[in-house]
Amino acid sequence: MEIPKEDGSTRPLAITCFEDKIVQLAVSQILTKIYEPLFLPCSFGYREGMNAHDALRSLMKYSNEFAKGTTVEIDLKQYFSFQNEHDASRFYQVLPKRLEKFGLKLHVNKSSVIKSGSYHAKVAASKGERLKTYKFVGFTCYWGKGRLGKWRLKFKSRSDRLAKKLVGMRQYVKQNLGVKTHIVIKNVVRIVVGWANYHAVSDNQKQVNMFIQWSTRILFAFVNRKGGKRKMN
């Protein structure tokens, strides 16, 4: 089956049966033993013992390290930090040819070279501007001042995905008005806890709190709509 992507295109999604999952697990364990030693330390996707939070920490480390750095955003959802813009530009020019050797193409409209680093952030602020933001593993990456007044890379949950998650939650409770209340609440709480745990990173407390508050309102509306002698608020 085909599922929609954010840019309007679609991608194939296979629905596996129980037997397929057993085979996939066995093959995955074999391939992991073979290829895991070949991965670079900067590779985090689908590796045992590594997750998106590790990738965010690495991105923050290298971005903050280079005051006059540059970030290259590519459609493969990988981000590379460079110490200077010249090296980044050279990499960006060569990358499409390297990808073509492996049957891959660079999505030009979703790829770019972005100034990064505390120096560039400070200069932009002095002009009343901000450095360009970019998206990474469900977060918007932007430059802001820390509590000590120093410029550094920060993360916040993508507003579009947060809103989409809440819309999906409203649809779920609306479609399950006939289901027992405690079952629906249990399922929604599981969704909220999972989302909050993933998005609980530095500088993102406001987005997490907002998601929890709106989720709570959705549950209150669900309980009140089901009826009862007392209304909840």
Lowest mean pLDDT among 73-77, 141-145, 171-175, 211-215: 73-77
pLDDT at 228: 55
| Relative orientation angle of helices 205-226 and 159-175, to the nearest 10 degrees | 20
pLDDT at 33: 85
Q: Which of 154, 159, 211 is nearest to 188 (CA)?
A: 211
Token pair listed for 86: 């010249």
Q: How many CB atoms lie within 10 A of CB 119?
A: 14
Instruction: Say if residue 39's pLDDT is above 60.
Output: yes
What percent of the chain shows pLDDT beyond 90? 54
Average pLDDT, the chain: 86
Burial (CB count within 10 angstroms: exposed 0-12, middle 13-18, buried 19+), residue 221: middle
- Which residues make beta-bridge pairs with 114? 71
Count of helices and strands (H, E) across the chain:
7, 8
pLDDT at 81: 64
pLDDT at 13: 58
pLDDT single digits (tens) 59-114:
999 999 999 998 888 765 444 566 677 787 888 888 888 878 877 777 777 788 89
pLDDT single digits (tens) 182-209:
999 999 999 999 999 999 998 999 999 9
Instruction: Say if residue 227's pLDDT is above 50.
Output: yes
How far, in Å, are 75, 114, 173 from residue 66 at the CA level? 23, 13, 47
pLDDT at 4: 66
Mean pLDDT of 56-61: 93
Q: In 16-31, which positions are buried (b, 16+ CB within 10 angstroms) versus exposed (e)? A: eeeeeeeeeeeeeeee
